[in-house]
Chains A and B, each alone.
Chain A
């Protein structure tokens, strides 16, 4: 009989379900980044001059930025000149209706569980599907229009709503923020745009599905969500990529703006290709996500379930500018094999009576390394600001690691900042208990892990909570026994 450490250590490579490649004719920009590349992208997208200028400024900022060195992993050398910055299905530049979309593309998204054809639409969820560099379809546009909600690709928004883009693009994450944000601003190809007008409660979940398909491309999408006074929106992003031996860079930027009394709930189920069990291939997921609560009583809530990517590196943050505004961060990050996650959040308390809540659940298996890194900053004027942070780590086996780096800066004496942290291992006793009730080890681990992550999973919209639960179980399949 195997002893306890064997059972927990034995680790097999679970096949990545979404590793297929779609064979479709693509238009791919030559590799490398230069002013010419930016002119090329901008021309392809028929962009206005001001946007091209902004991209060029970002490009020069990118050239001057050093790569960060404070992260808890060895930063792999990314050759920015070996990446293609634009890839689009060749068939047609713009689709007027779904009938014009290449059936191969529709089939790809179906295979990923994202039906785009009207009769199969997910009830109550509007989807924007992004394939490599372009958005291929946005569903339920008309229904949303009736409520005054704008939900389209960002390229479309540049053309249709330039005043909103010009006002808000880069207003939360300036292009100079960090090297990857600069790279994104210079080279972003597509992404989603959402505007919810005053007092409107968005009638359905909005969702963007990102798919990287082409080899040697990076995906640099940009998402911009604006919730005007008293409005509400719940938004979800999902993502997958084919299995490839080389690493691919994904450097996205997400900006959220919540006005007075508005609420934005942003959920991510991230399942980029994690690489094989020896650590070959996989996505580098270097993302900048930040929201600002501009007005009083605004609320922004980030929920993330991170199971994929070779390296996940991101800190969805909230700037609590409006008085009594609140920010939340709920996270489950799974690392197995040789995956690395360095993730967490930053909460900037600026307004009076601002509140933030951070619940982070790390799960490490195999040789996975999981770090929580978080900053709670309370500014001088943030009277009676309150924060609660809980970060828990769960270890499966004894070759993985969990690390916690909480930073607290309080410049106001009336602030209340709480921090709790726990580390636990899935116990032999727990598994045996479930075995004795007829539940096999694989299911037992799934049950224990889902129980552990429940507080976070509960935050996801219903349709996706089930999906996320399954994903957690699948990601950890083969991690024991």
Chain B
């Protein structure tokens, strides 16, 4: 589904990604861990097409297409979803209206007709239930006045609605209490299938107890320095990040 080869990127004059290699196949969940400032969120932003990052080398193939050639909106329409670490507030725009616009834009890109109001509402109710999202929040302005936890839950609700192929969860666990963490994780687990894939970016092993990854990668100083299975996450929890601060491999993993 996704092949990242020797991806390098900078912000202003600072090199942030220094040669990332990663392959993600359908049905897989990859966790990316690493200390603060190692480039985890930057990787998510570069993949989603944020403009202030400049790609300086490497390539990214998503479903056979050159991802880096596509605009941010076309990447989304191709099925790439980023659950933001800090979702923005957009006053006056109702959550539902926004989702309907998004969904129909994505459908138009695929030459599907817009969803009828009735079908859309049915889908909304279904997905609200699936990810335990409060209907009252769905009708409010997009993220306006939402608590941190509500914003994160809204990201998962949007993910459920838009049914992307590849979802990148950027520290979705940060700022969540244990109940919210459980609800968010349950939502993601219900959405997992052999057709989609997830990249879960997190600081802590805690989230991975709920969303069990197939692979764990450690990002340090703009490179993946270690890859393994979920046991690696436990080891990191025990030993911290100091011991992995030497790069072990720059070859594509997996």
A333 to chain B, nearest CB (A): 16
Q: How large is the interface on B (under 10, 10 to 19, 20 to 34, 35 or more residues)?
A: 20 to 34
Bound-state CA distance A337–B71 (Å) is 27
User: A450 with B92: in contact, given A436-B76, A437-B98 (CB under 8 Å)?
Assistant: yes
Bound-state CA distance A429–B141 (Å) is 17
Residues of B within 8 A of A428 (CB): 51-52
Of the candidates A432, A434, A443, A454, the one whose C-beta lies within 8 Å of that of B51 is A432
B90 touches A448 (CB 8 A): yes
CB of B166 within 8 Å of the partner chain: no
Of the candidates A438, A451, A453, the one whose C-beta lies within 8 Å of that of B73 is A438
Among A126-145, those with CB < 8 Å from B are none
Of the candidates B71, B91, B109, the one whose C-beta lies within 8 Å of that of A435 is B71
CB of A440 within 8 Å of the partner chain: yes
Residues of A within 8 A of B132 (CB): none
B51 touches A433 (CB 8 A): no
Residues of A within 8 A of B91 (CB): 451-452
User: A432 with B50: in contact, given A438-B73, A439-B73, A451-B92 (CB under 8 Å)?
Assistant: yes
Among A390-442, those with CB < 8 Å from B are 427-430, 432-441
User: A1 with B105: in contact, given A433-B90, A436-B48 (CB under 8 Å)?
Assistant: no
CB of B88 within 8 Å of the partner chain: yes
Residues of B within 8 A of A448 (CB): 90, 93
CB of A3 within 8 Å of the partner chain: yes
Among A425-481, those with CB < 8 Å from B are 427-430, 432-441, 443, 447-448, 450-455
Residues of B within 8 A of A123 (CB): none
A450 touches B90 (CB 8 A): no
A424 to chain B, nearest CB (A): 9
User: A433 with B48: in contact, given A440-B73, A447-B98 (CB under 8 Å)?
Assistant: no
Among B80-134, those with CB < 8 Å from A are 81-82, 84, 87-88, 90-93, 97-99, 101-103, 105-106, 109
CB of B77 within 8 Å of the partner chain: yes
CB of A7 within 8 Å of the partner chain: yes
Residues of B within 8 A of A434 (CB): 90, 98, 102
B93 touches A436 (CB 8 A): no
User: A2 with B88: in contact, given A435-B72, A436-B72, A437-B102 (CB under 8 Å)?
Assistant: no
Residues of B within 8 A of A7 (CB): 51
Closest A residue to B108 by beta carbon equals A438
A54-84 CB contact bits vs B (8 Å, 1 = yes)? Answer: 0000000000000000000000000000000
Of the candidates B52, B71, B92, B109, the one whose C-beta lies within 8 Å of that of A453 is B92
Among A1-22, those with CB < 8 Å from B are 1-4, 7
Q: How large is the interface on A (under 10, 10 to 19, 20 to 34, 35 or more residues)?
A: 20 to 34
A440 touches B105 (CB 8 A): yes
Closest B residue to A422 by beta carbon equals B91
B92 touches A438 (CB 8 A): no
Residues of B within 8 A of A440 (CB): 71, 73, 105
A454 touches B92 (CB 8 A): yes
Of the candidates A2, A427, A438, A454, the one whose C-beta lies within 8 Å of that of B102 is A438
A430 touches B90 (CB 8 A): yes
A4 touches B51 (CB 8 A): yes
Bound-state CA distance A176–B70 (Å) is 62
Bound-state CA distance A428–B51 (Å) is 9
CB of B172 within 8 Å of the partner chain: no
Closest A residue to B51 by beta carbon equals A1
14 A-B contacts (beta carbon < 8 Å): A3-B51, A3-B52, A4-B51, A429-B88, A430-B88, A432-B72, A433-B88, A435-B76, A436-B84, A437-B76, A438-B76, A438-B103, A440-B105, A454-B93
12 more CB-based (< 8 A) A-B contacts, given A4-B51, A438-B77, A447-B97: A3-B51, A432-B72, A433-B87, A436-B48, A436-B76, A437-B76, A440-B71, A440-B105, A448-B90, A450-B93, A451-B93, A452-B92
Binding site for A on B (CB under 8 A): 48-52, 54, 71-73, 75-77, 81-82, 84, 87-88, 90-93, 97-99, 101-103, 105-106, 109, 141-142, 158, 162
Q: Which 6 A-B pairs have the closest CB atoms?
A: A451-B92, A451-B93, A435-B72, A437-B102, A438-B76, A454-B92
